């Protein structure tokens, strides 16, 4: 059977488009002129894309115009290069690789990840919606309706997430600058409500013990909520507090983190910071503070090379979504009251 001429020509055009290079395919699209201009402004990016194989997320002209109107300086070529690389994933992810309800974390050439979700309204990349997918000879271009911006540093992200009391305590015990310099870690960040609920009884811990509580909330390595849900049970997750671990359990949807003296649930999973992943939790986790000598702290290397009291680098997991504070064990009740009251004292008196 002979195909109608218009059908034949359409098929030929489609195959020809699929066989073009990434740059040639971009040029042939009618809503990516601003992106092309930005790519040309950074010769190193232009050269790299000429032979690139993988996935490109291409913001529309309107999306980039909105970004510039919002204050982005398109004449800062270093910033432009950083943003462009955040749109490039060195693996091909065609639309067919996504299933409804699925979530994936894709590593970009910029070094941070983007989150791809296939929901009721289609595929979103972070908060941008994929409006069209176009193959080229080395992969696929997904046109998106918003510019993807690399995540800010952990301090800025914590402020944006209103984790104010966590930042205050970290600052008052001298850990804020250390936390700001961390990379490749997962942070379990208690909400302000969790710290407020901690305003209980009175007890005195040394600054080293208060630092120990904060270090107990930092897990070496990047572990997503989806990893924990898939694993269901991680009984010995290391932390930056030497010798003390967490147990993480999932029922397939929600995740609970169990510490030495109490438990917490992840209420906001997978918050991106620069080379750091944050899971917001609903309680302050309490370690075995008695094992941390009052007034004494030993230094160990961290992922930035700066000294940290009572820390060790290891590797493994962390949690995801959920509900509210869980009761402590009877034997640990006093430890809980001690740590919580000292944290309150830090806020009021340090």
pLDDT of residue 205: 65
pLDDT of residue 204: 54
Distance CA 48, CA 124 (A): 26
Q: Which segments in the chain show pLDDT lower than 50? A: 1, 5-13, 15-18, 201-203, 295-350
4, burial (CB in 10 Å: exposed 0-12, middle 13-18, buried 19+): exposed
pLDDT of residue 19: 67
Distance CA 5, CA 185 (A): 58
Rg from Cα positions in the chain: 24
pLDDT tens for each residue of 38-77: 999 999 999 999 999 999 999 999 999 999 999 999 999 9
pLDDT of residue 324: 28
HSE-CB of 105 using CA atoms within 13 angstroms: 14
Q: Which residues have C-beta within 8 Å of that of residue 349, sequence separation ≥ 6?
A: none
pLDDT tens for each residue of 109-133: 999 999 999 998 899 999 999 999 9
Provide the token pair at 222.
């990047």
pLDDT of residue 199: 59
pLDDT of residue 217: 97
Scanning the chain, the segments in alpha helix (DSSP H) are: 5-18, 22-28, 33-41, 43-50, 61-69, 77-85, 154-160, 164-172, 176-180, 192-197, 207-215, 225-231, 333-349
Considering only the C-alpha atoms of the chain, give the largest distance between any 2 of them, rounded to a whole number of Å: 87
């Amino acid at each position: 059977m002979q195909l109608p001429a218009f059908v034949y020509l359409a098929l030929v055009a489609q195959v020809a488009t699929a066989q073009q290079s990434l740059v040639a395919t971009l040029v042939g699209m009618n809503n990516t002129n601003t992106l092309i201009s930005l790519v040309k402004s950074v010769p190193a990016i232009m050269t790299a894309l000429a032979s690139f194989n993988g996935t490109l997320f291409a913001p529309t002209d309107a999306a980039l115009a909105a970004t510039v109107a919002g204050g982005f300086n398109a004449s800062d070529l270093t910033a432009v290069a950083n943003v462009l690389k955040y749109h490039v994933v060195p693996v091909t992810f065609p639309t067919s690789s996504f299933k409804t309800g699925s979530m994936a974390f894709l590593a970009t050439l910029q070094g941070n990840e983007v989150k791809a979700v296939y929901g009721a309204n289609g595929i979103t990349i972070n908060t941008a919606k994929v409006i069209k997918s176009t193959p080229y000879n080395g992969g696929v271009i997904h046109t998106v309706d918003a510019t993807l911006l690399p995540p800010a540093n952990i301090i800025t992200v914590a402020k944006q997430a209103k984790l104010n009391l966590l930042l205050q305590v970290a600052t008052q015990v001298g850990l804020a600058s250390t936390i700001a310099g961390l990379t490749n870690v997962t942070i379990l960040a208690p909400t302000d409500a969790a710290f407020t609920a901690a305003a209980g009884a009175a007890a005195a811990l040394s600054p080293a013990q208060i630092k120990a509580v904060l270090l107990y909330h930092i897990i070496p390595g990047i572990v997503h909520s989806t990893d924990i849900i898939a694993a269901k049970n991680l009984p010995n997750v290391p932390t930056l507090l030497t010798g003390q671990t967490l147990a993480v359990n999932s029922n397939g949807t929600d995740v609970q983190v169990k510490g030495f003296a109490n438990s917490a649930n992840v209420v906001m999973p997978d918050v991106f910071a620069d080379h750091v992943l944050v899971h917001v939790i609903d309680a302050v986790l309490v370690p075995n503070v008695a094992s941390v000598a009052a007034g004494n702290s030993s230094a160990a290397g961290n992922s930035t090379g700066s000294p940290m009291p009572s820390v060790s680098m290891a590797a493994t997991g962390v949690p995801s979504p959920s509900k509210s504070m869980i009761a402590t064990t009877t034997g640990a009740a006093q430890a809980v009251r001690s740590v919580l009251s000292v944290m309150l004292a830090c806020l009021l008196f340090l």
